Amino acid sequence: MKVKNIAIIAHVDHGKTTLVDGMLRQSGVFGSHEVLSERVMDSNDLEKERGITIFSKNASLRFKDYKVNIVDTPGHADFGGEVQRILKMVDSVLLLVDAFEGVMPQTKYVLKQALEHGLRPIVVVNKIDRPNSTPEEVVDSVFDLFVELGANDLQLEFPVVYASAKNGFAKYNLEDADENMQPLLETILEHVEDPEGDPEAPLQMLATNIAPDNYLGKLGTGRIYNGVLSKNQEVTLIKRDGELINYKVTRIFGYEGLKRVEMEKAVAGDIVTIAGLEKIDIGETVADRENPMALPLIDIDEPTLAMTFMVSDSPFVGREGKFVTSRNIWDRLQKELEHNVSMKVEETESADAFIVKGRGELQLSILIENMRREGFELQVAKPQVIFKEVDGVKCEPIELAIIDVADEFTGVVIEKLGIRKGEMINMVQGTDGYTRIEFKVPARGLIGFRNEFMTETRGTGILNHSFYDYEAHRGEVPTRQRGVLISIDAGTTTAYSLGNLQDRGVLFAPPGQEVYAGMIIGEHSRENDLTVNVTKGKQLTNMRASGSDATVKLAPPREFTLEQALEYIADDELVEITPESIRMRKKILDEGARKRSQRKG
């Protein structure tokens, strides 16, 4: 069976997973009796809820006399580690670009990775059925991007396919009839190179993904570069540090559609999953027992953001979660490292706190969200960017931000990002009343900016950003402009006390919510923090006063998602996370101790 290996890369929400759906359906992978959900590749609960891909996944289809292995990759820059290791497995990529939105930050990031690996992309312009789409202009901008990223002459001769993944068709020219996905599949067979590799050479397989299995133990997925791999074969695992460990391969699985299918043997060029190697890790080589030779290790970009995970010392600890100790949290973080290569975990001087480093807020918040769903209780501090020294100069991570905003809000957005040390590098006015602005902004400047941005643009602005490079430190960046309202007492909030506080700011807590001293229950209208009593009830008498007993009218409280809470908190605050609640609080709960600490500081 001849094989083609291809990955699909794109900016988030440009339709990667929907395109894979269409290809799998039309190639006959699914029977007519099978009921399919949309985006079948998004198997994780969080992926389904958010409509994004977080973990890369394998599938395969048969077209003519070829088996096409497809890898769906995440679109967020925070999951760039997934993309980088997947590119080691494939011989080409489908670069998917939205016919309406055009080239976005993540498109640049993933394309740069693919070009550096020497791959020749196939460009798929998706969503050509959208109103106001401009497919020809998008192809021109993609060509400009290839030139900007230093593509060679072969890479610049990229084939283009126009598609609507949602409606299940692809075509070579915009004038062609809308039929099916066949033009895209034909293009893959024609332009993707056959995998290199010598079946006669000693075995070499590179592990690019790890997954636990309750029955088979640790599973390693990767591509066989040379040789033949058979069931029950004696192999040698070459660890990252050069250590050699002998194992027997107990099971080999390939892919038919989305299903794992057991195989007796696999040859060079195939992507397979193997069992029996208990200590296998990402980037390590499974080699021939007699002649073990290591493949090059996978280089992964360094983390740019760090967050402290702590054991919860909240008065409410243990009420909602099952796992609350430092050992529980440490073991869970170590388990995450097994398959998440772009994340690092470090111990601190305190036994109850760990520093977790990742590629961005979204990656860290997805980890926290998964932990709370598994029954963990913990608290986390404000994300901090990771500085590094380059040639004796203190440097910080810079993000490339692309903002689509209504013309009337361009001035305020430019002003707000200017205050946060952003540098405008491009501005294009559209015909639909929207302007696209490109900025280079310190990563510090974007922490906490999204809430402010959505408020200033009345919820209509779109902000996308991805890591650009390390550049010289740009000085102080202002943080949150307003203080918070802090509960002085433990108890249950009352409508009476909340009604009296409405003039002081925006409330986060509804009536009837249990609170504790030091918990943040609102945003103050001024710069300073204010300690308030939200549990006080109205003094009842046997006299009725006309007008004063009218029902208290409360504005709806502002609710925070996990990401919004992480962006909102200041350096002296924490987010407390439990399976059922997300609360914001001061690090020091007692008001007197807090004031003494501020005086010392």
The whole-number pLDDT of residue 1 equals 63
- What percent of the chain has pLDDT above 90? 17
The whole-number pLDDT of residue 447 equals 82
Residue 73 CA to residue 465 CA, distance in Å, equals 18
The whole-number pLDDT of residue 14 equals 67
Q: Is 129 annotated as a binding residue?
A: yes
Average pLDDT score over residue span 449-475: 82
Average pLDDT score over residue span 281-288: 85
Give this prediction's pTM. Answer: 0.74
Q: Is 587 annotated as a binding residue?
A: no
In sequence order, what E strands does 116-267 have?
122-126, 160-164, 169-171, 204-213, 217-226, 228-230, 234-238, 244-248, 251-256, 259-263, 265-267
Q: Is 17 annotated as a binding residue?
A: yes
The whole-number pLDDT of residue 61 equals 84
The whole-number pLDDT of residue 460 equals 80
Domains of the chain: 2-191 (3.40.50.300), 204-288 (2.40.30.10), 388-472 (3.30.70.240), 484-600 (2.40.50.250)
Maximum Cα–Cα distance across the chain:
98
Averaging pLDDT over each range in 99-108, 308-317, 399-408, 469-478, which range is the top one?
Answer: 308-317
Averaging pLDDT over each range in 377-381, 446-450, 597-601, which range is the top one?
Answer: 377-381
- Of 151-155, 278-282, 442-446, least confident by mean pLDDT is 278-282
Residue 110 CA to residue 301 CA, distance in Å, equals 12
Average pLDDT score over residue span 71-89: 66
Average pLDDT score over residue span 418-438: 85
Q: Is 198 annotated as a binding residue?
A: no
Q: Is 328 annotated as a binding residue?
A: no
Is residue 414 within 8 Å of residue 407, measured between CB atoms?
A: no
Q: Is the pLDDT of residue 33 over 50?
A: no
The whole-number pLDDT of residue 47 equals 46
Q: Is 16 annotated as a binding residue?
A: yes
Q: Is 13 annotated as a binding residue?
A: yes
Q: Is 18 annotated as a binding residue?
A: yes
The whole-number pLDDT of residue 209 equals 79
- Of 19-28, 68-77, 501-510, least confident by mean pLDDT is 68-77
Phi, psi at residue 26, to the nearest 5°? -80, -15
Average pLDDT score over residue span 233-256: 87
pLDDT tens per residue across span 345-372: 999 898 899 999 987 777 888 889 889 9
Q: Is the pLDDT of residue 280 over 90?
A: no
Two tokens, residue 577: 């996370």
The whole-number pLDDT of residue 82 equals 62
Question: Bridge partners of 307?
Answer: 356
Q: Is the pLDDT of residue 4 over 90?
A: no
Residue 299 CA to residue 562 CA, distance in Å, equals 31
Mean pLDDT estimate for the chain: 83
Q: DSSP of 101-113, one letter per residue?
A: TBS-HHHHHHHHH
Residue 377 CA to residue 575 CA, distance in Å, equals 11
The whole-number pLDDT of residue 81 equals 58
pLDDT tens per residue across span 154-174: 888 989 999 888 888 888 888
Q: Which has more pLDDT, 157 or 551?
A: 157
